Amino acid sequence: MSLFSRSSGSARSSRRSRRDGAPLADRLDALARAADALAPVAPGGDVSAAQEVVGRIDRRRALSAEHTVVGLFGATGSGKSSLLNALVGQEVTRAAVRRPTTSAPVAAVFGGAGSDPLLDWLEVEDRHHLPGDSGLVLLDLPDLDSVELGNRAIAERLTGLVDVLVWVTDPQKYADAVLHQDFVQPFAGHDAVTVLVLNQIDRIRSAEREGVLASLEQLARRDGLERAPVLGVSAETGEGIEPLRDLLTEVARGREAVASRHRADVRAAAESLRSAADPAGLPARSAEAQVSELVDDLAVAARVEPVASAVGGSYRHRAAGRVGWPPVRWLRRFRADPLARLGLGRERADEQVHRSSLPEADPATRARAAGGVRRFADAASAGGTDPWRAAIRAAARSREEELPDALDQAVAGADLRSRETSWWWPVLDVLQWLALLTAVVGLGWLAANAALAFAGIPPLPLPMLEGLWIPVPLPTALIVLGLAAGLLLGLLGTALAALAAAARTRRARRLLRERVAEVADSLVVREVDEELRLAAGAATDLALAHGE
């Protein structure tokens, strides 16, 4: 509700409280936090403007709370100086042909005690202290369309400092685009502290005045001032001066204009930040499914599957050296351990392998990792505005250069149990040697008999195994039994090694993926989640600053 409403004080206070939400101090703190959070995201001008609003309001609140500063703004010839003189009832600022343009602010102060620090801050040197205790400070300001850039700069600066804005125009310029586009429209939403005054109304024929005022009101509503009053006055004849004076005096006595102006400024700054980089629409943190997809992509870059397969291959390779048929075990020496080929699994108690010998990632693999990071950032920022999506992408890639080494370290430092054995290895090893010994005994027996026969010496007795299809000499049976047992034990060992290797492959895959997930979390996910946390906090602060 506008301060210029004529409704009762209690009803006005109740409705204003519901509309404005949290106390001004809380909203101001929220705006400051939001500006800090958006500093790396939003355009610098919008952030600086919001921070300037915070600083300006802090400074104004530290100055006189007993005075309400009303600025009279308008174009050349609108009669601001004459209007000020008419409002105060005496000439405090010259309004004549000799000086048609005000070049420096002029203040008329009703109740001067404590006003000097405030006027010093406003940089108003020309001060006129008048009888009264309302605390009203009227400022006659340089023209908004002055050809003197310094004069216009003064007026523009004070639009952001005064407590109440009075836009003064005349019948010839009330629809001027410069006034509306450059000055009135930027203060849309400041209804509570804005008045539009059509001066020199005596120059309009009585029958046409109502239509001109209606036209100005329509322009004001189009500018975003939905409830700001529109008054017609004549500084020359005094028409409408008394109602305007009463209105401004009432506002000053109410002591609400300063806070209303500040609330409007905070709301406008919050809207500006939202327009520049709205943090709403983003999740509070990245989703588990998104993180899982990122880990999938980084696992490819870390060569998790080849390493996991090498763990299983290494187990089979070492198992063959313990449970394979002894006469051919030496052949495995011509094949390198799969893990050793990757530079893994060679650590000793006093030495830690710090880097694997995995081949350098090919372009496709590197693209998979980079693409995974990009897809993760895009998924995590879905629903956000472009500035925040760009910020989240930058956060996701902020440590991208560390990824290759970190992934390599994750693989090289994993406990792959590369020296681990199984309980059944020595059992099958003993059985293999017993089978081989059995075959050797039978073969040696036959060889000894052949040698004895060649030397003409009676051979060793050859017991026969009866009960078979045909009788079989015991040495021959020993040879067949030894060879068959060795073959069966070899097949059993190969099958057991394959099953155990598959289990170790799954374990290695799970372990390596967990370590890749830790890298993803520390170098990518945490950075993105921190940005999402900042966005969530900024969204909450902007809502609070806006009065929602």
pLDDT in tens, 122-150: 999 999 999 888 899 999 998 887 777 88
Q: Are 308 and 345 in contact (CB under 8 A)?
A: no
Please, which pLDDT band fits residue 195 given cuts at 50, 70 and 90? very high
pLDDT score recorded for residue 356: 52
| φ, ψ at 167 (rounded to 5°) | -90, 115
Query: Who wins on pLDDT, 472 or 34?
Result: 34
Q: Are 495 and 441 in contact (CB under 8 A)?
A: no
Please, which pLDDT band fits residue 11 given cuts at 50, 70 and 90? very low
Tell me: pLDDT of 98 over 50.
Answer: no
Lowest-confidence segment of 10-24, 190-204, 290-304, 428-442 by average pLDDT: 10-24
3-state SS class at 140: strand
- Distances 243 to 1, 4, 231, 232, 476 between C-alpha atoms, Å: 20, 12, 9, 10, 132
Query: Who wins on pLDDT, 96 or 515?
Result: 515
The Cα 155–Cα 72 span in angstroms is: 9
Please, which pLDDT band fits residue 17 given cuts at 50, 70 and 90? very low
Query: Who wins on pLDDT, 71 or 455?
Result: 71
pLDDT score recorded for residue 358: 61
Q: Which two tokens stand for residue 433?
A: 């040697």
Determine the Cα angle at 240 with ends 234 and 243, to 5°.
145
Element housing 36 (H / E): helix 24-38
Tell me: pLDDT of 258 over 70.
Answer: yes
Output the CA torsion sign for 278, 281, 285, 287: negative
3-state SS class at 23: coil
pLDDT score recorded for residue 180: 85
| DSSP-assigned letter for residue 326 | G
Write down the domain spans for the chain.
7-65+256-277, 66-254, 288-546
- CB within 8 Å of 542: residues ≥ 6 apart: 30, 31, 34, 270, 273, 274, 278, 279, 280
Arithmetic mean of pLDDT over the chain:
86
Q: Write the pLDDT tens digit of every residue in 203-214.
A: 999 999 999 999
**Residue range 435-464: mean pLDDT, rounded:** 87
Q: Write the pLDDT tens digit of every residue in 306-349.
A: 888 888 888 888 888 888 888 888 777 777 777 777 767 654 43
pLDDT score recorded for residue 351: 42
| DSSP-assigned letter for residue 329 | G
Tell me: pLDDT of 353 over 60.
Answer: no
**Residue range 473-483: mean pLDDT, rounded:** 89
Q: Are 130 and 110 in contact (CB under 8 A)?
A: yes
Full-model pTM: 0.76
3-state SS class at 159: helix
Nearest to 391, CA basis, from 537, 500, 529, 216: 529
pLDDT score recorded for residue 468: 64
pLDDT score recorded for residue 413: 82
**Residue range 26-44: mean pLDDT, rounded:** 93
- Distances 468 to 45, 301, 484, 486, 488 between C-alpha atoms, Å: 102, 62, 17, 22, 21
Q: Write the pLDDT tens digit of every residue in 214-233.
A: 999 999 999 989 899 999 99
The Cα 340–Cα 343 span in angstroms is: 5
Fold of the 66-254 domain: Rossmann fold (3.40.50)
Q: Are 289 and 375 in contact (CB under 8 A)?
A: no
**Residue range 183-199: mean pLDDT, rounded:** 91
| φ, ψ at 81 (rounded to 5°) | -65, -45
Q: Write the pLDDT tens digit of every residue in 526-538.
A: 999 999 999 999 9
Please, which pLDDT band fits residue 397 given cuts at 50, 70 and 90? very high
Tell me: pLDDT of 236 over 60.
Answer: yes
**Residue range 242-258: mean pLDDT, rounded:** 92
